[in-house]
Structure 1
Amino acid sequence: MESKNTPHVSSYERAQKKVKDIKGFYGHLAVYVIVILVVLSTRGRFMSIHNTIFQDSEYLNWIDWNVFGTPIIWGIFLIMHGIRVFGKNPFLGRKWEDRQIQKYMEKKT
């Protein structure tokens, strides 16, 4: 294994970071699924209670926008997280990071 004083990251450290990133993504995915299931199931219960008490359609629309907007917006961020972790991002992926690191390392000398 390489010394910690070298400016280059060892293969082991890079692999360790990749595993940590993947683990973080799966944790994010698990939280997303649990929260969205709770939000959607709560919506059904809330709507049945609300319809018997209140008749305000604007309030119901507001609830729907929140209930369905949350998974959509959060899902977009989850997709972006997955792209970053699994390296499918053509713009800011691992190759871009490596080029930037190399560029700044060369600038230093």
Structure 2
Amino acid sequence: MENYKLEPYENKDHRKEQAYVRAKKRVKELKGFYWHAFWYVAVNIFIVFMIVSNGGDLFHFGTYSTALFWGIGLGFHALGVFGKNVLFNKSWEERKIKEYMDNDKEQWK
């Protein structure tokens, strides 16, 4: 009988631990993405600076090709971390629906 009474507490602790593990994983993913973005900006500024300072053309495709292709990779990394609905997520949908409903209310007054 006593084990039966302890089970909800054990479940609660287990759920807390699972939530902690998920949160820690999420923080690690975000940290990885932000470091990736930092190095993207830092390295590409350096590359463009070096090309231009060595007589390269500022408006040549080759000057920005690394930034372009690495940027595509960074974009995929962002999709992996934030998901495909980064901009148009559920809360955005709900805000827009509320906004349109509020606008309709004003028209009928």
TM-score under structure 1 length normalisation: 0.56
5+ long unaligned stretches in structure 1:
4-8, 49-59, 90-109
Q: After superposition, where does 1:13-92 map in structure 2 within 5 Å? A: 13-47=21-55, 64-88=60-84
State the distance in 2 between where 1:11 and 1:20 align: 14
Q: How many residues align?
A: 70
- Alpha-carbon separation, structure 1, partners of 2:62 and 2:43: 13
Task: State the secondary structure of the residue aligned to 2:84.
Answer: coil
- CA RMSD in angstroms comes to 2.3
Larger Rg: 2
Q: Distance in 2 between matches of 1:17 and 1:67?
A: 36
Question: Tell me, what secondary structure is at the counterpart of 1:88?
Answer: coil
Distance 1:88 1:19 in 2: 18
Residue 65 of structure 1 and its aligned partner are, at CA, apart by 4.7
Query: What do residues 77-103 of structure 1 show as CA deviations (whole Å, max 9, x unaligned)?
Result: 0011011101226xxxxxxxxxxxxxx
Distance 2:25 2:75 in 1: 19
Q: How far is 1:2 from its partner?
A: 2.0
> Which blocks of at least 5 consecutive residues in structure 2 are unaligned?
1-12, 86-109
For residue 67 of structure 1, report the CA deviation from its aligned partner. 2.7
- Secondary structure of 2:14's counterpart equals coil
Letter in 1 for 2:68: I
